[in-house]
Chains A and B, each alone.
Chain A
Amino acid sequence: MAQYLMSVLNESAVATEEEQAAIDVFNERLQADGHWVFAAGLASPGAATVVDGRDAEPVFTDGPYLESKEHIIGFWIIEAPHLDVALRLAAAGSKSCNRRVELRPILGE
Chain B
Amino acid sequence: MTHVDEVITRVHREEWARVVATLARRLGDLDVAEEMAAEAFATAVERWPAEGVPPNPGAWLTTTAHRKAIDRLRREVRREEKHREALMLSGTPEPLGVVDDDRLRLVFTCCHPALAMEARIALTLRMVGGLTVPEIARAFLVEETAMGQRITRAKAKIKAARIPYGVPFREDLPARVTGVLTVLYLIFNEGYLASDPGREPVRGDLTAEAIRLTRLVRALLPADGEAAGLLALMLLTEARRAARVSASGELVALGEQDRGAWDRELIAEGHALVRARLASGEAPGRYQILAAINAVHTDARDVRDTDWSQVVALYDHLVRLDPSPIVRLNRAIAVAEIDGPQVALAQVDALPLEGYHAFHATRADLLRRLGRSAESRAAYDRAIAQAANTAEAAYLVRRRDQLAGP
Residues of A within 8 A of B (CB): 2, 81-84, 86-88, 103, 105, 107
Contacts and interface: CB of A to CB of B under 8 A. Distances in A.
Contacts of A81: 162, 164
Contacts of A86: 162
Nearest to B169: A84
Contacts of B162: 2, 81-83, 86, 105
A83 B114 contact: yes
A83 B169 contact: no
Chain A interface, >50% SS class: mixed
A84 B164 contact: yes
18 contacts: A81-B162, A81-B164, A82-B162, A82-B163, A82-B164, A82-B166, A83-B161, A83-B162, A83-B163, A83-B164, A84-B163, A84-B168, A84-B169, A84-B172, A86-B162, A88-B172, A105-B161, A105-B162
B358 to A, nearest CB: 34
Contacts of B160: 105, 107
Contact of B114 (A2, A87, A88, A107): A87
| Contact residues on B (Cβ < 8 Å of other chain), bracket | 10 to 19
A82 to B, nearest CB: 4
A24 to B, nearest CB: 24
Contacts, number: 29
Tell me the interface secondary structure of chain B in the complex: loop
A87 B163 CA distance: 10
Interface of B: 112-114, 160-164, 166, 168-169, 172
Highest count of chain A CB atoms <10 Å: which of B161, B164, B169? B161
Contacts of A105: 160-162
Contacts of B113: 87
B337 to A, nearest CB: 45
Given A81-B162, A105-B162, 4 more contacts: A82-B163, A84-B166, A86-B162, A88-B172
A107 B169 CA distance: 25
Nearest to B165: A82
A88 B168 CA distance: 11
A103 B113 CA distance: 13
A68 B113 CA distance: 28
A8 B287 CA distance: 37
B154 to A, nearest CB: 13
A59 to B, nearest CB: 33
A81 B164 CA distance: 9
Most buried by A among B114, B162, B169: B162
A84 B167 CA distance: 10
A82 B105 CA distance: 14
